Structure 1
Amino acid sequence: MRPSRIAPPRSGRRLTTALLATTLLLAGVATSAGSSSAAPSAQPGARTVLGEQPPGPLTFQVSSFNLLGAGHTDGKNPRKGFDKSGPRLKRAIELLDRESIDVVGFQEMHKAQYTKFTKWESERFGLYPGAVLGAAPMHNSIAWRTAQWRALRTEAIKIPYFKGNEIKMPYVLLEHVETGQQAWFLNVHNPADARGPAQKWRDEAVRRESALVNRLRAEHPGVPVFLTGDMNDRDEFFCPVVARTELEAANGGGSDASGCQTPPAMKVDWLLGTAPTVFTGYAALTDALVKSTTDHPVIVADAVVPPPAVQASPIDRVVVIGVEGLRSSALDLTSGAYGRLAAEGAVTLNARTTVESTSPLPNVLSMLTGRRVDAAALGHGVTYNNDRGEVVRATAGRYVSSVFDLVHNQGGRTYLAANRNRIDMVDRSWDAANGGRDPYGFDDGADKVDKYFRGGNDYRLVEDLRARLERRPAAFTYAELSSLDKVGRKSGFGSDRYTKFVGKIERMIGRTMSSIESSRKLAGRTLLVVAGTNGGVDGAARDNERDGNYTVPLMVWGPGVVEGADLYDLNPQWTDPGNEQDGYETPAPIHTGVVANLALSVLGLPALPGSLMNRDQRLNVLTGPLG
């Protein structure tokens, strides 16, 4: 069975405040490599504070960058087609800024390049080892932007190079200034065959590098380890290193009991990392600026590390129940399932549908993509409320990623349930024919919805959902209940029949909560989100100007959720709009479209590319250490 990034071993992606503090205490200010660094800052204790905005996930750009050493271009027999090292280093710095690279592992930083880099960039970048360990170790220096990172430890490991001669290569423990997140960075250059066959030395290098990664993970659980370098190997490097360690390559692939699946178009330059990191936006840059700078591609990727509250959370499954026609004014929060959600979870009755539409289908798609409706503003483009046989890729004019994409691509199973044919569009938009490629880890295929259930009515749908949750729960579930909206439009949203069905929906939600609590696989590990896809006003259920249509509840319940909290009090970055339908500009109201990136954030996954609502994933529902 292939490993899933959604539900790794408990020790793999958990970082408690106590552990973080212990790691800081052990970090010290001096290292065995003989260099000194800034003293670590103290970490605050865990606290629950309403009215403060905790940090979102840490996202930064990391790179592996072979500079093409000055020795190849500045001597008597310079490499043809390349300028001397000085002009090329200026271009290298331009690339660091153009790509917003925060941490970079250099290879072939020869003395002339080191001297100029420290002269030009010492105010912006820290560097190790530089000249501290001698000329050869200097070649593989690690640099980091000091405005974002500070060094806690600087170390070195001996790696065999040409003819087996050992060279010290650096690894550093950095701490992010804003979030306090720590990470190890190891940067190496394994020997090429330029001075005779070197495969046995490369193999030995990989063995040592793997052992170091495993030791750092064992000694500092929860602190990610990054490995950058020119490995002078492709599958001969990749397959052993991912088999021996938790490392995953930024460009995909993986290893399990069935064998090694290599990434497409492998280079000899590599960028890998361990949990809790997720990579996005991998690129092997070979544009004109790169080609005038070096003879290697520049490897760049976004690394996303969840915030401490998420790392400490046991949540590895999310169930979202969307209820069509659930108007906030109809809910009684003093009893039943709605009362439990309010007392034990975080709730607002003043969330908003999308600005453009109060129809169910457009809002379901916004909850799954984090996008607005208007395609001209990078929205999903679905303005109608019936299935027309289209897919979101066509209505948006571009591929639109959904929660199903990211969860499925990271190895998690997904489940979709509905009893109205309009939700067929959701399944079709991300099926095997229309889903996007999987660039993360193993290729799990284009079909992002593993199971789609079409029930005849809400009761049957909920019973199937409960049975599935108890037997084989998915990492992400979206279930759409539609009976309430049908009753409201037929009998009136203020009618006795509508009120009766509000109670029926409450009991269905209550049974779902009971199934979660009674399941060994789900209890203490599952986040439940209940959201109205639209409200309703008699005779004007699709009138975007009526507050009864655009005002809906959003309720979150599960382990670690701040009990009895109002979502606006927890999240002052969002503004309670009163009775108005405000837009998406900050400070914005909480639109139900925040659900997509909320679900991903609690699962430790990055935000959806191109999303608008909660794209920084700072909507907070969990108790945890605040920055």
Structure 2
Amino acid sequence: MLRAHTPTGIRGLPVAAALALLLAASLLVGAPARAATEPSSRPGGKPTGFGFKIGTFNVLGSQHTRGRGGYAPGTQRARWTAGAITQRGIDVIGLQEVQRDQLRVLRNRMPGYRIWPGTALGNQGVRLQIAFRKKQFRLVGHGHVMTRFHRQTRPIPWVELRDRRTDRRFFVVDVHNSPKGLERERDSATAKQVRLVQRLRRKGAPVFVTADANEKREFYCKMTSRTDLRAANGGKPRARGCQPPRRRLRIDWVLGGKKVVFSHYREDRGPRVRRSSDHELVHARVRVKPLRRR
């Protein structure tokens, strides 16, 4: 009995069926396997979570220790400050009360860091500086808002940084508010700083604030009740009213948004810090959570 001849492909299969099998196989080979525990990642497969150490420090400006007194000249204290920052492995730090002679020392003694704004915002803008490790972060944006400080107007700087490993962005705002009885100036400045944090958060990236606020409970409550910021040393901003951190309150603060986790919080008074300033060097580790899958 004669059979009708049908063209065949792979092992006697019809050509059309064979081609379909080959196409399906090629698609399967090209599709990467995805493990159930795969972390969130950006294009390129790099994990989106990242961490670093952040700090804040009032360096005690040179003008406060000129002549005789209990502290060394400002430039010598700036050398100790640079040593304290690098020795502790701080990756991002907001500095307050910096003066030009101290800025020059910090730049020379912290070669692995970029410092902004430097002198870009004029003489008043020198007082507040944000330093960050150049190998770890890239500066992609910056700006400032003007506030009242000790009967003068001066800029509050902020930077937008991009983590080089993960390509994730975040903002850092450096704050110094008026001391002692200048309550109205502090209130006005804090209100502007709250609005700045709100505006930056709308850009979708975490915001950090490093501050010598010259206030304890009031600054904390205003910042945390009107933004998503939390303090590195704890507290409950909305639970039964504002509850600041339980430990002894300071006027120096490190705060970050809800998508970050703080740990290893320290109020540092090591030998170099004690000789450098009348403030603690406040620092903490922070972990920015991975992005959710879309």
Q: TM-score range by the shorter chain?
A: 0.7 to 0.9
**1:289 deviation in Å?**
2.2
1:99-125 deviations in whole A, cap 9, x for unaligned? 11000000011111111222333x411
Q: Counterpart amino acid of 2:140?
A: L
**1:48 deviation in Å?**
5.8
Q: In structure 2, what is the Cα distance between the partners aligned to 1:265 and 1:118?
A: 33
| Structure with the bigger percentage of strand | 2
After TM superposition, list the pairs within 5 Å mapping 1:140-219 onto structure 2: 140-163=128-151, 165-193=152-180, 197-218=181-202
For residue 168 of structure 1, give the secondary structure of its aligned residue in structure 2. Answer: strand
User: Residue 225 of structure 1 corresponds to which residue in structure 2?
Assistant: 207
User: Residue 129 of structure 1 corresponds to which residue in structure 2?
Assistant: 117
For residue 292 of structure 1, give the secondary structure of its aligned residue in structure 2. Answer: helix
Q: In structure 1, what is the Cα distance between the partners aligned to 2:55 and 2:239?
A: 30
Q: In structure 2, what is the Cα distance between the partners aligned to 1:179 and 1:83?
A: 42
**1:49 deviation in Å?**
6.6
Of the candidates 114, 117, 131, which is equivalent to residue 103 of structure 2? 114
Question: For the structure 1 residues 48 and 267, does the alpha-carbon distance in structure 2 shift closer, same or farther, using more than 3 Å as the test?
Answer: farther
Q: In structure 1, what is the Cα distance between the partners aligned to 2:206 and 2:255?
A: 10
Q: In structure 1, what is the Cα distance between the partners aligned to 2:32 and 2:220?
A: 43
User: Residue 89 of structure 1 corresponds to which residue in structure 2?
Assistant: 78
For residue 254 of structure 1, give the secondary structure of its aligned residue in structure 2. Answer: coil
Q: In structure 2, what is the Cα distance between the partners aligned to 1:252 and 1:232?
A: 19
Unmatched runs of 5 consecutive residues or more in structure 1: 1-46, 315-627
For residue 130 of structure 1, give the secondary structure of its aligned residue in structure 2. Answer: coil
1:472-494 deviations in whole A, cap 9, x for unaligned? xxxxxxxxxxxxxxxxxxxxxxx
User: Residue 60 of structure 2 corresponds to which residue in structure 1?
Assistant: 68
User: Residue 266 of structure 1 corresponds to which residue in structure 2?
Assistant: 249
Q: For structure 1, which segment, 107-116 or 251-260, has the greater mean C-alpha deviation from structure 2 after superposition?
A: 251-260
| Paired positions, count | 255
Q: In structure 2, what is the Cα distance between the partners aligned to 1:156 and 1:229?
A: 15
1:333-390 deviations in whole A, cap 9, x for unaligned? xxxxxxxxxxxxxxxxxxxxxxxxxxxxxxxxxxxxxxxxxxxxxxxxxxxxxxxxxx
User: Residue 312 of structure 1 corresponds to which residue in structure 2?
Assistant: 292
1:193-231 deviations in whole A, cap 9, x for unaligned? 2xxx2011111111111111111112x12x100001100
The percent identity for this pair of structures is: 30
The answer to whether the Cα contact below 8 Å between 1:108 and 1:139 also exists between their aligned partners in 2 is yes
Q: Counterpart amino acid of 1:118?
A: R
User: Residue 340 of structure 1 corresponds to which residue in structure 2?
Assistant: none
Q: In structure 2, what is the Cα distance between the partners aligned to 1:272 and 1:126?
A: 21
Q: For structure 1, which segment, 169-178 or 55-64, has the greater mean C-alpha deviation from structure 2 after superposition?
A: 55-64
TM-score of the two chains, using structure 2 as the length reference = 0.82
The answer to whether the Cα contact below 8 Å between 1:253 and 1:261 also exists between their aligned partners in 2 is yes
Q: In structure 1, what is the Cα distance between the partners aligned to 2:84 and 2:109?
A: 15
For residue 278 of structure 1, give the secondary structure of its aligned residue in structure 2. Answer: strand
1:36-74 deviations in whole A, cap 9, x for unaligned? xxxxxxxxxxx967699743731100000111111112x
**1:313 deviation in Å?**
3.7
**1:287 deviation in Å?**
2.2
Q: In structure 1, what is the Cα distance between the partners aligned to 2:189 and 2:198?
A: 14
Q: Counterpart amino acid of 1:65?
A: F
Q: In structure 2, what is the Cα distance between the partners aligned to 1:216 and 1:48?
A: 37
Q: Counterpart amino acid of 1:182?
A: R
CA RMSD of aligned residues (A): 2.0
TM-score of the two chains, using structure 1 as the length reference = 0.39
**1:270 deviation in Å?**
0.5
Unmatched runs of 5 consecutive residues or more in structure 2: 1-30, 36-43
**1:257 deviation in Å?**
5.9
